[in-house]
Chain A
Amino acid sequence: MEIYKKSIAELSDLLNKKSISSVEMTNYFLRRIKTYDSKLNSFITINDKYALKKAAEADKKISNNEHCLLTGIPIAHKDLFSTKNILTTCGSKMLKNYKPPFDATVVKKLDDIGMINIGKTNMDEFAMGSSNESSYFGVVKNPWNLNKVPGGSSGGSAAAVAACLSPIATGSDTGGSIRQPASFCGLTGLKPTYSAVSRYGMIAYASSLDQGGPIGRSAEDCAILYNEINGYDPNDSTSYHEKKIEKIKLNFTKENATKTCIGIPLEYFSKNLDQNISDEIFKSIDVFKKLGFKIKEISLPNHNFTIPAYYIIASAEASSNLSRYDGVKFGFRCKDPKNLQELYFKTRSEGFGKEVKKRIMIGAYALSSGYYDEYYIRALKIRRVIRDSFLAAFKDVNFIFAPTSPTTAFNIGEKTSNAVDMYLSDIYTTPVNLAGLPALSIPVGYSNNMPVGLQIIGNYFSESGILNIAHFYQKNTEWHLKVPKEFDNE
């Protein structure tokens, strides 16, 4: 029946018709994890018993007609979403034994409607990375080529969905951590508008940038999940409360397309971009043109200054957020400290990995007396310039198309010795986070047999439009249906 390739709507249909029970479906995906994940290392924790118990409960809900589209469907959560009494490591030795006493709001919302949490996925330590090579639990591999990275920091979620070990997964995006791995693994990944999805229970990296969202096989699957996880949460004071976010309906027509103008920012197609990727992106733009969309060249000036601003702001916020890991309240504690000072220093030195320590130090430096204006305030001013340039562009166009990443997935180890090169791989995704805008990455082709992602950027709270045009494209193309050969069998 090739259940592994089915969409969320198709899986839900099978459950409704009783062609399969949630227990059987959960067992099916757990078996796939056991068969294939030794090649990928995409999971840190597999919740066999918990998942099967929840699946039995979901089956009852379905029998009693108390279900929705997602009831009984398995999902994998990035290991920075707190899960009550289930290991939540954030990819770090610091939290290797941490079992939170509460669920993140995203996890709770999905649990309440009967989704099955089958496991927690691997990730860059504290979400700091673009390749999933900084996890304490080891490197994750890309299902399209096991010698390549899956992207990061939600690399485990992306690898798991690409290999069809889970129908869908959650991720988090601070500087591209949903979109870039989605692009590297041939998936669809949505970074919602900042504040649309509650951050409560998401282990914090950079609080003014972090945003949770879905990584799935199609825009339709992402829309179904997004509809359930967005909305105001009293536990997150930064969550959007001014009006209710409407449920997304995917009903875009050819007539809508003719009234939709897409902006192509020329600065995003400079010499930094791999030529093959540029070609694939323009081929996809031609498809949109044929579908009736208007295409217009636009300019987004100063976006080449985003990387320094992003890394200063994110590191500054990280240095503050990660000060809570002191060996006293929760998490790892070093052995036999002589005094309190030694407890702090040794716990943090032994508990954090190299990249995390570096970003904490960059952040502490940028916030320190004498450097605060030069680095931190300056970065916040660049943030305004970037945000304003987007808003100016949205006066002329409805959406902006850009590459998601300047390259396809690179080799494992290729960029670990060149941090600046690694940081530059986020050049097309970080501007969106600084501005707090929503954006989606969808697969649009291949370069050297590795997937290429197109990024669709919209104005605040335009997730419905973004997902509708992506779904419209996916109804007319098949890139999103491809499965890596090695994982394309039962």
Chain B
Amino acid sequence: MFDKNKVKDVAKLAMIELNDDDILFYSNEIEDFLKLVKESEKIDLQNVKPLYHSPEMTLKLREDEIDTDPKNDGINLAPEHDGRFFIVPKVID
């Protein structure tokens, strides 16, 4: 049973604020989904290894180089910044 307390716990993990109506809504929705998941328990998975990526292949890594072009500086997209640092509300009073 995916009850309201479970919804609250998961919402906290996901950093999402929910009101009472939302909690009831997600409790029902996730419960319905987990019933569907339950049906897949019929499949025998003994000796089956998890598959993370398909097709399976080697990854080609590139050099970790610092891009110094100021035009590519993502800080300009921040909702609040001073050109060098992201600005957030005070963390410690």
Q: What residues make up the interface of A, taking CB atoms closer than 8 Å to B?
A: 98-99, 101-102, 193-195, 208, 232, 234-235, 237-238, 240-242, 302, 305, 307-309, 311-312, 319, 323, 326-333, 337-340, 342-346, 348-349, 352, 354, 357-358, 360-365, 368, 375, 377-378, 380-385, 387, 419-420, 423, 434-436, 460
Contact = CB atoms under 8 A, between A and B. Distances in A.
Interface in B50-93: 50-55, 57-62, 71-74, 76-80, 86, 88-91
10 contacts: A101-B74, A195-B55, A234-B62, A242-B58, A302-B43, A311-B33, A328-B88, A360-B14, A361-B26, A364-B14
Given A101-B76, A387-B51, A339 B89 contact: yes
A204 to B, nearest CB: 15
Contacts of A378: 40, 45
A270 B53 CA distance: 29
A357 to B, nearest CB: 5
B18 A349 contact: yes
A340 B30 CA distance: 28
A434 B16 contact: no
B39 A333 contact: no
B17 interface: yes
A208 B86 contact: no
Nearest to A434: B54
A98 B77 contact: yes
A238 B73 CA distance: 24
B13 interface: yes
B53 A208 contact: yes
B61 A237 contact: yes
Contacts of A193: 55
Given A195-B57, A345-B17, A368-B10, A305 B89 contact: no
B79 A327 contact: yes
Given A238-B53, A242-B58, A328-B79, 10 more contacts: A101-B76, A195-B55, A237-B59, A312-B37, A329-B74, A332-B79, A349-B18, A375-B37, A381-B45, A420-B33
Contact of A384 (B35, B49, B58): B49
A28 B86 CA distance: 44
Contacts of B48: 381, 384-385
Nearest to B72: A101
A270 B25 CA distance: 32
Contacts of A363: 14
Contact of A329 (B18, B60, B86): B86
A104 B60 CA distance: 19
Interface residues of B, number: 53
A436 B36 contact: no
A436 B62 contact: no
Contacts of A383: 50-51, 54
B29 interface: yes
Contacts of B51: 380-381, 383-384, 387
B91 A339 contact: yes
Contacts of B42: 305
Given A194-B54, A238-B59, A364 B77 contact: no
Contacts of A311: 33, 37
A303 B89 CA distance: 49
B43 A385 contact: yes
Contacts of B18: 349
Nearest to B61: A237
A432 B58 CA distance: 21
Contact of A102 (B32, B53, B62, B72): B72
B11 interface: yes
B38 to A, nearest CB: 8
Contact of A419 (B29, B39, B52, B80): B29
Contacts of A333: 79-80
Contact of A360 (B16, B35, B55): B16
Contacts of A365: 6, 10, 13, 30
Nearest to A339: B89
Nearest to A309: B40
A377 B90 contact: no
B15 interface: yes
Contacts of A385: 43, 45, 48
A381 B48 CA distance: 6
B86 to A, nearest CB: 5
